Structure 1
Amino acid sequence: MASMYGHPAETHQVTTEDGYILTLFRLYGNRKALPVLLFHGILDSSDTWIIRGNRSLSINLANNNYDVWLGNVRGNRYSQGHVYLNRNVDPAYWNFSFNEHGLYDLSATIDYILTKTGAPKLNMFGHSQGNILMWVLLSTRTQYNDKINVATALAPVCYGAHVLEPVPTLLRVLNRLYPLLRALGVTNVLGDNSILTILFRLVARIPVLGYFIDAYKILFTVFGRDSTELEPSFLPTVTLHVPTWTSLKNVIHYAQVVMVPQFARFDYGPSGNLAAYNSTTPPLYELGNVKTKVVLLAALNDKLSQLGDVDTLRKQLPNVIECPDNETPV
């Protein structure tokens, strides 16, 4: 896809400290500029930054001679390897949530880019869960605050008290079913070969099926309506790339953030928390530790990144930058 728009991509392999093998793409630019890392949201991949072609952020950055890197978290279509675990037969492979995405995937990606380029730090864009990764890492491994120049959060997600229906209801139901699903051996959701994903892609691409199931309406019902930015003709392209694999545990962790609502580590229940954290409740992520300069960009009709929750996040972060319209600090 990158080659179609004049920027052939390099492929890099990054191994995390807990053995997951991630794929990282690079659109070559000016080596003297600070690298720019783009990180996708939940059930997504690096594809999200390029499928709009010349309207995509990655292509625009590359056209302006930036050194662009596209990250992928463990488990998605580009990062399914592990040093010794097999995702198809080892349930332990899927024992992760956004906590591990932040602590291990993002940290390994940043270290690799800085080592490869020799740059002292990088700029970063995150989308949705791609921002949660930043909050997890920067609040816990505080040395990484010195490795990010500016973190730009698109559709910032952290708190979930104001998330609009039907997502809260769906997450509550899934949370109640979690013990049963685990007992049945369910470890991951909405993979490229899952029945739901295949069906969703079919109804988006075959008009006759659209009479029975409106994939376009489903997307707007979940995420918020904007037919100008996501026109019907683009839907088949979107559904070729989204969703892609994530762990069931990751979805449940997000459900906990929405239901509680607190930005905390995974809640295993009182006895499980005692074993994991030496406390009956999961510890909170200390957002006051996030010293990196942060830009928050939210939208009025985003059902998942509601302005009330973004405002709560804003009050917790100590170094949020106020920007003039259409301007981002670099």
Structure 2
Amino acid sequence: MWNYQNGYREKITDYMEKLIKQDGYPLEKYSVTTKDRYINIMYRIPYGKCGNTNGQRRPAVLLNHGMICSSAIFIDQNPLGYYLADNGYDVWLLNNRGTTFSTKHEDYDAEKEKDKYWDFGFHEIAIFDLPAFIDFVLDHTRRRTICHIGFSQGATTFAIMASELPEYNEKINLSILLACPILFDNVSFFHVKVSCILGIIIIQILEKIFRLKLHEIPLMAEMRFLMFYAAKNNIYRKISELIMSLIVGYRDRIQLSELDHQRLGITTPNSSSTRQFLHYSQMIRYSKFAKYDYGSTKNKELYGNKNPPLYDLSKVTSPVGIFYGKNDMYNDCYQDGLEKRLGNTVHVQILDHEFYNHLDFLYAKDNIKILFEDMLKLMKKYCHL
């Protein structure tokens, strides 16, 4: 029986590391310390299952996960990490601060000093974690550039990093953005906006009236428990599918028919800070790709204005390839217009599947044909040593 109360972080880490090795791939593990002293874990699959017999150097690719996710989403039931390794790439899998893999800090204890440790959102992940991971890979491999693939929040943090730290554009030979929640002008699902507004209100009530400080997005362990037992109990599975449909658009039963909820529930959903959810909620509510809104008083102190400033996407000058799903509830693929706002969009593709949704980018059973082959073609054009 999977135990979510005692040593679950170690159990999740142990599961992932054993899985990669059992699948026949080489695995390296590294600790990466950020400028603000968070200690995060990154995995490396340096070559594919057949080995690296010719000893040649391979182009490096960094896989960047989403919110309430971890590096597990690119390995367990999603062959992207293995697919890239088998096709000649040096694959690096990051785990952002706050995930079950990365909960250490040089000064703070994530459990005993929650107010200090969990004082971050995806803005901090973008300006501290992602640059640290990129620099580590480049230093370790002695390369000048790296390919970046960001799913969901991984696309958001890339856009923030490249606009706030434009010097990092020179270190990216290509960034592929999958299911990218950046512009929310055309979110067509009414319940998404309602859920965001209600989420903000509930958190404010809990914190201001009941004096409950929510450091992490709540119920993630309970959701993993539900996912883990969904395969054994039809009622659990129906509840799990309903929750997933509300969050990610779980509609294509054919493409997700082979998804093993029990395996998924070991690692996903993963832990994230409450501010990550609140920041997305603000952007969806106001349809602005802006910095975090702390309130007018603190905004004026931090930003010099009562309103948070917008991120300047024109500063994203490294080559970007965007892949849209026709049924992604966070992007209207026909009206999103992100490619016009970025400084150097080189590829835009709406995937040829009518019901392809946010979750399908990870777990659609036909992803090699629907998505990976086209990604690989684009990478071969831009991702060189």
- TM bucket (normalised to shorter chain) is over 0.9
The answer on 1:82 being equivalent to 2:105 is yes
The answer on 1:176 being equivalent to 2:204 is no
> CA shift at 1:276, angstroms?
1.4
> CA shift at 1:200, angstroms?
2.5
**1:79–1:89 distance in 2 versus 1, CA, 3 Å:** same
* 2:151 corresponds to: 127
1:246 to 251, 272, 275: 272
Contact 1:41-1:129 at 8 Å conserved across structures: yes
Tell me the alpha carbon deviations over residues 50-85 of structure 1, each in whole angstroms, 9 at most, x when there is no partner: 012xx6111011112310000111000111000011
Per mean C-alpha deviation after superposition, the further-off stretch among 141-150 and 313-322 is 313-322
Contact 1:204-1:216 at 8 Å conserved across structures: no
> CA shift at 1:309, angstroms?
6.0
Q: Which amino acid aligns with 1:74?
A: R
Tell me the alpha carbon deviations over residues 276-321 of structure 1, each in whole angstroms, 9 at most, x when there is no partner: 111111111110000010000010011123325632x221102111
Give TM-score, length-normalised by structure 2. Answer: 0.79
Structure 2 runs not aligned, ≥5 long: 1-18, 352-373
* 1:65 corresponds to: 88
Give TM-score, length-normalised by structure 1. Answer: 0.92
Distance of 2:172 and 2:85 partners within structure 1: 19
Contact 1:61-1:68 at 8 Å conserved across structures: yes
Distance of 1:7 and 1:114 partners within structure 2: 22
Contact 2:229-2:261 at 8 Å conserved across structures: no
Contact 1:37-1:69 at 8 Å conserved across structures: yes
Tell me the alpha carbon deviations over residues 241-261 of structure 1, each in whole angstroms, 9 at most, x when there is no partner: 211111111100010110011
The answer on 1:189 being equivalent to 2:214 is no
* 2:166 corresponds to: 142
Contact 1:40-1:48 at 8 Å conserved across structures: yes
* 1:206 corresponds to: 232
**1:102–1:191 distance in 2 versus 1, CA, 3 Å:** farther
> CA shift at 1:240, angstroms?
2.3
Per mean C-alpha deviation after superposition, the further-off stretch among 39-48 and 82-91 is 82-91
The answer on 1:278 being equivalent to 2:304 is yes
The answer on 1:26 being equivalent to 2:26 is no
Distance of 2:148 and 2:34 partners within structure 1: 19
**1:217–1:177 distance in 2 versus 1, CA, 3 Å:** closer
Contact 1:166-1:222 at 8 Å conserved across structures: no
What SS is found at the alignment partner of 1:321? strand
Distance of 2:255 and 2:292 partners within structure 1: 34
Per mean C-alpha deviation after superposition, the further-off stretch among 288-297 and 274-283 is 274-283
Contact 2:224-2:268 at 8 Å conserved across structures: no
**1:190–1:2 distance in 2 versus 1, CA, 3 Å:** farther
Contact 2:339-2:348 at 8 Å conserved across structures: no
> CA shift at 1:86, angstroms?
0.9
> CA shift at 1:207, angstroms?
1.1
> CA shift at 1:230, angstroms?
1.3
Tell me the alpha carbon deviations over residues 187-243 of structure 1, each in whole angstroms, 9 at most, x when there is no partner: 111465x4x3255235523315438x5212321233121222211652222222211
> CA shift at 1:8, angstroms?
2.4
What SS is found at the alignment partner of 2:336? helix
What SS is found at the alignment partner of 2:150? strand
Structure 1 runs not aligned, ≥5 long: none
Contact 2:227-2:264 at 8 Å conserved across structures: no
What SS is found at the alignment partner of 1:134? helix
What SS is found at the alignment partner of 1:310? coil
Distance of 1:315 and 1:123 partners within structure 2: 21
Distance of 1:134 and 1:222 partners within structure 2: 22
Distance of 1:209 and 1:265 partners within structure 2: 40
1:92 to 102, 116, 129: 116
* 1:226 corresponds to: 252
Tell me the number of residue pairs that the alignment of Structure 1 and Structure 2 aligns.
324
* 2:70 corresponds to: 45
Percent identical: 28
Distance of 1:181 and 1:88 partners within structure 2: 20
Q: Which amino acid aligns with 2:163?
A: S
Per mean C-alpha deviation after superposition, the further-off stretch among 285-294 and 24-33 is 24-33
Contact 2:97-2:129 at 8 Å conserved across structures: yes
Distance of 2:272 and 2:20 partners within structure 1: 24
The answer on 1:17 being equivalent to 2:35 is yes
